[in-house]
Amino acid sequence: MTELILQATDIGKSYGHGDGRFDALKGVSLDVRRGESVAIVGKSGSGKSTLMHLLALLDEPDRGTIRVGGVDAQQLKPRALNKLRNKDFGFVFQQFFLTPNATVLDNVTLPLMIAGVGPRERKARGMAVLEQMELADKAKNKATNLSGGQKQRAVIARALVNNPSVIFADEPTGNLDSATGAVVEDILFELNKTQGITLIIVTHDRELAARCDRQFFIKDGLEAVPDAAASVAPANSAAGANA
Amino acid sequence: MNPLDVLKSAVSNTFRNKVRTLLTVIAIFIGAFTLTITSAIGAGVSSYIDAQISSIGGDSMLTVSSAPDAAPAGDGPTPYDPDKQATASGMSLLSEDDVTAIAAVDGIADVQPAVMLSPDFIEFDGNGKFEIAVNPMAGIATIDLAAGAQLENGAGQNQILLPASYVDGLGFADAESAIGQPVTLAISDYEGTQHTVEAVVQGVQNDSLFASGAGLNADLRDELDALKQTAKPAAVPSGYVMAIAFLADGTTPAQLDDIQAALTEQGLLGMTVTDQIGAIQDVINGIIGVLNAFAVIALIAAGFGIINTLLMSVQERTREIGLMKAMGMGGGKIFALFSFEAIFIGLLGSALGAAVAIGLGSGLSSALSATVLSGLPGLTIMLFTPASIATIIGIVMAIAFLAGTLPARRAAKQNPIDALRYE
C-alpha cells in the first residue's frame, strides 16, 4: 500500500460574515496516495477550487485538519510551508498566469528563482524542462507570443521545474480547444505514469475526470455520490469516489 | 529568492511600465534638482564667506578697538574729556599703553597695532599715478589671492599685494606678469613733503567684500609710517585705530568669552570676525534653509507619486504576486521586491536630478561669475561637493523607501488565493 501524501479530514471553509456568509466546504474528507491521479469534479460554486486551494496549503481551513506526508499542516511554520509549496507542489492554472513580458525561460524558472537557485543552474534546469515540453526553441520568446497550447505547456514546464511530488491542475484544459487540450492531458498523465508525480485535477470536464485513477465528486460543499446521469467510466468512479 | 535576484527583478519591474515610471522619476527629478541647486548655492556662498572671513583673520584673532563710551545714566550728553585721544573723525585711538594692556590679557599670544596709512599714489614704470587705499589687515591675515604669494613680514624687502583691479591700470598684461615687478609708492609727511618708496609686487588679491585695498608687508608699512611721521607736530595725538590680537592656539569659545570680558574691563572692544559678520551668515543660512525646505516639500510630493505608482503596480501585478506567493515566496521577499523598486525609482530620479543640476548649475555659475557677479571674484555661486550630492541622493532614496513601504506592505500581505482569483 502506497503512502498517503495528502490527507484532508472533515474540512470546512466559509467566506464572509453574517448574511453574506457562504459555506464553500461543509466537512469534506479526502485522502490522496502518492503517485495516483485524482479528479475533483463539480460544478462551479461546488467548492472544488476551494478544496484544491486548501489541499495545496494556499489557505487554511476553518475546521478539520490537512496532513501532508503525515504532518499536520497547521503545525508548519510559514517558512516551512513556503518551502513545501515551492519544492513539492507544482501548479497548473486555467488562466496560465504567465508574466506576459518576461521570456518563457524566465517564467518557467520562477519557482527556482524563488527557491534561491543560482542563474546558471536555473537556466540549465529550465532548458531541460522546456526540452521535455518541446518548447526549447521558444525559450527566449515573450510569454505573450505563445499560442494557448504552448502557454499551457510552458505552465506545466514551470510546475515541473522544481521536480514536485504533486501537481495541482485547476481546469488545465479549460482555455484550450479539444485538440490542444488532449495534448496537454496526455502530457500530464504521462508525467503521472513515468515520473510518479501525483496529479490532483480540478475540473468539470467529465472526460478528463474519467482519465484519472479516481474521481472525487463534490456538490454544495459536500462529497456527492455521482448519479447515473453524471456518472462516467463507472468501473473507475465507483472505487474512487467512495474511497 | 536570493538578494541579487530580488534586486534584478526590482530593477526590471521598474521599467515594465515605462511611462508611469518616467512620470514618477520626473517628479523626483524636480525635487532632487532643486535640492541640489539650493544646497550648492548654500555651499557656494558659505565657502565664499569663509574665504572672506579668513582674508580678514578668521577666528584666530580679535580686532581690538577703543570701546565706544557707554551712554551715561539718564541718556544725557557725554561730558568732554580733554585727555581722550581722537582722530579727526572723532574716533578714539588706541595708545601704546592700550596695546601693552591687550598683550597682557591672558590667552592673547601677540598684538599687532594696525597702522592707518594713506599713500598718495602708486606707479609702475611711468605708466601713470593712481590713488591707492591700504587694507590695514593685509600682512596680518591670509588674503584670497588671484596670483602670487602671501606677504612675508620681516623679509627684508618691501612687498605689496595689489588689488586685482590695479593690474590693468598700472600697465601689467595680467596678474601673473605683475608678480615680482617693482612699483613706486609715494606718501606725504606732516609738512606736505612727498617721499617715494620702492616695493615689489608679491601677489595680486581677489577683490573682496571685506578686505579692500592693497596689502603691505611689515617692512613696507614701517618704512611708510616712518616717512609719514616725519616732522610731526607734538600736538597731534598718536595712536592706532585698532590692533589685531592673536589668540593662543586652541582657544575655546569659553576662553574667548573670558578674553573679551577682560578687554571690556580695559575699556576696549574685542571682536572676532564671526562676531562682525556672523549675522550675515545667519541670514544667508536662513534663506538657504527655507529654499531647502521647499525642495524637501517637492520631494515629499514626489513621494506620494511613488506611492501612487507602486500601488497601481501592485494592483496590476496582483496575480503575479499571488502566483509567487503560491510558489512559496515569503511576504518579506515580496516586501523587499517592492521596496527596492521604490528605492530604485528614487535613485533614478535623484541621480538624474543631481547630474542635470551639476551640469546646468556649473554652466550658470561660471556664466554668472563672468557677468553679473564679476565684481566678486572668487565667488562660485554654486558649489557642488561629492558629499552633499551623496547626501541628497541618500535622502531621496530614504524618502522613496518610506513611500514604498505602504504599497510593499500591501503586496506582501496579499492572499495568494484572492490574488489568483482576481479578475
pLDDT-derived band at A241, boundaries 50, 70, 90: very low
Cell numbers given for B8: 534584478
Q: Is B233 left (phi over 0), alpha (psi -120 to 50) or beta?
A: beta
Q: What is the model's pLDDT at position B84?
A: 61
In chain A, whose CA is at the least distance from the CA of B17? A101
Residue in A59, A85, A101 closest to B327 by CB: A85
Distance from CA of A239 to the nearest CA of B (A): 31
Where are the extended beta strands (E) located within B176-236?
182-188, 194-205, 215-216
Contacts of B1 in chain A (CB under 8 A): 113-116
Q: What is the model's pLDDT at position A103?
A: 92
Distance from CA of B420 to the nearest CA of A (A): 8
A58 touches chain B (CB under 8 A): yes
Distance from CA of B8 to the nearest CA of A (A): 11
Contacts of A93 in chain B (CB under 8 A): 420
Q: What is the model's pLDDT at position B209?
A: 63
> Across the interface, do A116 and B416 touch by the CB < 8 Å criterion?
no
Residues in Cβ contact with B185 at an 8 Å cutoff, skipping those fewer than 6 apart: B119, B121, B122, B132, B160, B196, B197, B198, B199, B220, B224
- pLDDT for B154-179, tens place per residue? 778 888 888 888 888 888 888 888 88
A175 touches chain B (CB under 8 A): no
Q: Closest Cα to residue B122, out of B112, B131, B114, B109? A: B131
Count other Cβ atoms within 10 Å, centred on residue A44.
9
Q: What is the model's pLDDT at position B105?
A: 81
Q: What is the model's pLDDT at position A41?
A: 92
Q: What is the model's pLDDT at position B235?
A: 67
B319 touches chain A (CB under 8 A): yes
Contacts of B415 in chain A (CB under 8 A): 59
Q: What is the model's pLDDT at position B17?
A: 85
> Across the interface, do A114 and B417 touch by the CB < 8 Å criterion?
no
Percent of chain B past pLDDT 70, that is, above it, reads 88
Which residues 79-118 of A have a C-beta within 8 angstroms of B?
79, 81-87, 91, 93, 97, 99, 101, 110-111, 113-116, 118
Q: Are A41 and A32 in contact (CB under 8 A)?
A: no
Percent of chain A past pLDDT 90, that is, above it, reads 49
B323 touches chain A (CB under 8 A): yes
Count other Cβ atoms within 10 Å, centred on residue B251.
18
B282 touches chain A (CB under 8 A): no
A62 touches chain B (CB under 8 A): no
pLDDT-derived band at A233, boundaries 50, 70, 90: very low
- pLDDT for B187-222, tens place per residue? 888 888 888 888 988 888 877 666 567 888 878 888
How far apart are the C-alpha atoms of B113 and B117, rounded to whole Å? 12
> Across the interface, do A84 and B328 touch by the CB < 8 Å criterion?
yes
How far apart are the C-alpha atoms of B287 and B300, rounded to whole Å? 20
pLDDT over threshold 50, residue B31: yes
B329 touches chain A (CB under 8 A): yes
Identify the residue with better confidence: A83 or A243.
A83
Distance from CA of A93 to the nearest CA of B (A): 9
- pLDDT for B126-159, tens place per residue? 888 888 888 766 666 667 788 888 888 777 888 8
> Across the interface, do B326 and A87 touch by the CB < 8 Å criterion?
no
A144 touches chain B (CB under 8 A): no
Contacts of A58 in chain B (CB under 8 A): 326, 416-417, 420
Contacts of A53 in chain B (CB under 8 A): 417
Q: What is the model's pLDDT at position B44?
A: 87
pLDDT over threshold 80, residue B396: yes
Identify the residue with better confidence: B91 or A226.
A226
Residue in A78, A110, A111 closest to B330 by CB: A78
Q: What is the model's pLDDT at position B74?
A: 53
Distance from CA of B31 to the nearest CA of A (A): 32
Q: Note the residue count of chain B.
A: 423
Q: What is the model's pLDDT at position A237?
A: 41
pLDDT-derived band at B26, boundaries 50, 70, 90: very high
Overall average pLDDT of the B337-364 stretch: 94
**CB pairs A-B closer than 8 Å:** 57
Overall average pLDDT of the B386-396 stretch: 93
> Across the interface, do A82 and B417 touch by the CB < 8 Å criterion?
no
Query: Among B105-109, B274-278, B384-388, which stretch is predicted with the lowest mean pLDDT?
Result: B274-278
pLDDT over threshold 90, residue B401: yes
Identify the residue with better confidence: B118 or A159.
A159
- pLDDT for A66-97, tens place per residue? 999 888 988 999 899 999 999 999 999 888 88
Contacts of B324 in chain A (CB under 8 A): 110, 114
B18 touches chain A (CB under 8 A): no
pLDDT-derived band at B58, boundaries 50, 70, 90: low
Residue in A79, A87, A116 closest to B2 by CB: A116
How far apart are the C-alpha atoms of B202 and B152, rounded to whole Å? 9
Q: Closest Cα to residue B246, out of B259, B257, B258, B265? A: B259
Per-chain mean pLDDT for chain A: 87
Q: What is the model's pLDDT at position B89?
A: 44
Identify the residue with better confidence: A24 or B49.
A24
pLDDT over threshold 80, residue A113: yes
pLDDT over threshold 90, residue A9: yes
Contacts of A84 in chain B (CB under 8 A): 328
Q: What is the model's pLDDT at position A242?
A: 41
Kindly give the residue spans of alpha helices, DSSP state H, lying in B317-384: 318-326, 331-370
How far apart are the C-alpha atoms of B332 and B336, rounded to whole Å? 6
Percent of chain B past pLDDT 90, that is, above it, reads 18
> Across the interface, do B328 and A53 touch by the CB < 8 Å criterion?
no
Contacts of B333 in chain A (CB under 8 A): 114
How far apart are the C-alpha atoms of B215 and B224, rounded to whole Å? 13
Residue in A59, A114, A116 closest to B324 by CB: A114
Q: Give the range with max mean pLDDT: A207-216, B182-191, B225-234.
A: A207-216
Q: What is the model's pLDDT at position B356?
A: 96
In three-state secondary structure terms, A19 is helix
